[in-house]
């Protein structure tokens, strides 16, 4: 580990000032991702700003039904919160499918959104990686690709985003509240993470001197049902091979509202807009679910080594939608 300075933030605005004044600074929340990267020298900050004791740790429901989740709310506390369990079961299930109970007790909402890819080459300093070292090349292309992208990949990076929580937040049309030198700005979660393009080192649109202070959930859609289904190598403590977050509202025998996102298939949580369009107004039948999968996956491109993901995400989407209407 390379030596660094450590400061404990006293409030969010002063943490932003410290971030702005120290280009080599990084924020520390639960530390479950960042501390690993410090040990591996994947992250080499000059200064760590510890925000873990800032009072950004409450879940509040506003008069209009919006739920505001503080950036420091732990994953386990969020999954257990009555407002989340009752109103957003998809989010509770996504959180509980992530990591292990011990990790969820430390991991925060802000840190989970900003966790970095689990591409093995990203964590291995002896190999080229455009995300870790821009311009050095991508070892995964032509290498080990079992966990890599089938949608929206670039010639510079084929990594996937590892978060479960972020997939549910993408489907739910949640909003990130970021505090920067010019005050707060709101970023829709579906636009928060980036495709790799020719800048794979940038995972999100968050600026270097911005702090996530909260995530907001829109009010519950009356009559909607939702869930999260994750396919992985073992039942616990494993990242998604693929996952589906889905919400449906049926009225008079047809689909009136639908929101779907995929995990494990792209550089960002993947909002399945093609599948949503295909399902809106349709009867909730197996045929309609298969057509929705076809609509979304016509653009999927496998790499040698991850061909299995295309039929797997297809079947997982159909099974998830069937579960919601049964
Ligand atoms: C063995 C293992 C298995 C795991 N399995 C899963 C899994 O199955 N599914 C899953 O979703 N996750 C999984 N995780 C990842 C885990 O969920 C993340 O490590 C955790 O959510 C990160 O949160 P943190 O608070 O610890 O972040 P930290 O490690 O403290 O920070 C992560 C990043 O976010 C930045 N950051 C943190 N908070 C803020 C903020 N408020 N504003 C701006 N920047 C911020 C930090 O600077 C850092 O870059 C696993 C982790 C491990 C170690
Ligand atoms: S897929 Fe992305 S993270 Fe993995 S080696 Fe290539 S550039 Fe690095």
Q: What is the pLDDT of residues 164-191, one digit of tens each?
A: 999 999 999 999 999 999 999 999 999 9
162 lines ligand 1 (CB under 6 A): yes
Mean pLDDT score, 23-29: 98
Identify which of 112, 225, 220, 94 has the alpha carbon closest to the alpha carbon of residue 168.
94
- Cα-to-centroid distance, 58 and ligand 1 (Å): 18
- Cα-to-centroid distance, 98 and ligand 1 (Å): 11
Q: Whose CA is nearest to atom 21 of ligand 1?
A: 112
Tell me: pLDDT of 1 over 80.
Answer: no
Q: 250 lies in a domain?
A: yes
* Distance, CA of 172 to CA of 157 (rounded, Å): 27
Q: Whose CA is nearest to atom 8 of ligand 2?
A: 129
The ligand 1 atom nearest the CA atom of 28: 30
For residue 299, the domain's CATH number is 3.30.390.50
111 lines ligand 1 (CB under 6 A): yes
pTM: predicted TM-score of the whole model, two decimal places: 0.98
Instruction: Please list, in sequence order, all residues whose beta carbon lies within 8 angstroms of the beta carbon of residue 233, skipping any fewer than 6 positions away.
Output: 241
- Cα-to-centroid distance, 245 and ligand 2 (Å): 25
**Could you list the residue range(s) of the whole structural domain that residue 12 is in?**
5-52
**How does pLDDT run across 241-274, given as a tens digit for each residue?**
999 999 999 999 999 999 999 999 999 999 999 9
Tell me: pLDDT of 235 over 90.
Answer: no
Q: 236 lies in a domain?
A: yes
Q: 219 lies in a domain?
A: no
Q: 179 lies in a domain?
A: no
Structure tokens at 180: 């920067």
Tell me: pLDDT of 157 over 80.
Answer: yes
Pocket test of ligand 1: the residue of 70, 102, 115, 204 to mutate, having most ligand atoms within 8 Å of its CB, is 115
Tell me: pLDDT of 132 over 80.
Answer: yes
Q: 299 lies in a domain?
A: yes
Tell me: pLDDT of 37 over 80.
Answer: yes
- Cα-to-centroid distance, 288 and ligand 1 (Å): 37
- Cα-to-centroid distance, 128 and ligand 2 (Å): 8
Q: What is the pLDDT of residue 236?
A: 84
Residues belonging to the chain: 326
Total number of domains in the chain: 2
Q: 150 lies in a domain?
A: no
- Residue 2 — very low, low, confident or very high, per pLDDT cuts 50/70/90? confident
Q: 93 lies in a domain?
A: no
**How does pLDDT run across 62-113, given as a tens digit for each residue?**
999 999 999 999 999 999 999 999 999 999 999 999 999 999 999 999 999 9
Which DSSP string do the residues of 60-114 spell out, in sequence order?
EE-TTS-EEEETT-BHHHHHH-HHHHHH-HHHHHHHHTSS-HHHHHH-BHHHHHH
Average pLDDT along the chain: 98
Q: What is the pLDDT of residue 262?
A: 99
Residues with CB under 6 A from ligand 2: 117, 119, 121-122, 129-131, 138-140, 157-159, 200
Q: 281 lies in a domain?
A: yes
First to last CA, the chain: 52
CB atoms within 10 A of CB 311: 12
For residue 30, the domain's CATH number is 3.30.43.10
**How does pLDDT run across 39-51, given as a tens digit for each residue?**
999 999 999 999 9
For residue 211, which ligand has an atom nearest its CA?
Answer: 1
- If 0-12 CB within 10 Å is exposed, 13-18 middle and 19+ buried, where does residue 234 land? exposed
For residue 47, which ligand has an atom nearest its CA?
Answer: 1
**How does pLDDT run across 280-323, given as a tens digit for each residue?**
999 999 999 999 999 999 999 999 999 999 999 999 999 999 99
269 lines ligand 1 (CB under 6 A): no
Q: Whose CA is nearest to atom 34 of ligand 1?
A: 111
């Amino acid at each position: 580990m390379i030596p660094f300075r450590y400061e404990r933030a006293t409030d969010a605005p002063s943490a932003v000032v410290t971030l702005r004044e120290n280009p080599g600074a990084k924020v520390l929340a639960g530390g479950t991702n960042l501390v690993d990267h410090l040990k591996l020298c994947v992250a080499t900050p000059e200064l760590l700003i510890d925000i873990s004791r800032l009072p950004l740790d409450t879940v509040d429901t506003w008069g209009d039904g919006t739920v505001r989740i503080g950036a420091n709310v732990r994953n386990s506390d969020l999954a257990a919160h009555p407002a989340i369990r009752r109103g957003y079961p998809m989010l509770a299930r996504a959180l509980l499918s992530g990591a292990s109970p011990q990790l969820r007790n430390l991991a925060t909402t802000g840190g989970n959104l900003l966790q970095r890819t689990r591409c093995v080459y990203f964590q291995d300093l002896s190999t080229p990686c455009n995300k870790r070292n821009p311009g050095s090349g991508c070892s995964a292309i032509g290498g080990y690709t079992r966990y890599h992208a089938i949608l929206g990949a670039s010639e510079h990076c084929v990594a996937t985003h590892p978060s479960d929580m972020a997939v549910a937040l993408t489907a739910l049309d949640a909003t990130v509240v970021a505090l920067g030198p010019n005050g707060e700005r709101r970023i829709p979660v579906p636009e928060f993470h980036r495709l790799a393009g020719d800048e794979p080192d940038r995972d999100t649109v968050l600026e270097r001197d911005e702090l996530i202070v909260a995530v907001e959930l829109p009010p519950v859609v009356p009559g909607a049902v939702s869930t999260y289904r994750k396919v992985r190598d073992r039942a616990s403590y494993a990242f998604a091979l693929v996952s589906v977050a889905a919400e449906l509202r049926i009225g008079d025998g047809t689909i009136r509202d639908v929101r779907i996102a995929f995990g494990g298939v792209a550089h960002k949580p993947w909002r399945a807009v093609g599948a949503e369009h295909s399902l809106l107004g349709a009867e909730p039948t197996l045929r309609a679910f298969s057509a929705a999968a076809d609509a979304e996956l016509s653009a999927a491109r496998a790499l040698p080594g991850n061909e299995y993901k295309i039929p797997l995400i297809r079947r997982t989407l159909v099974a998830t939608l069937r579960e919601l209407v049964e």
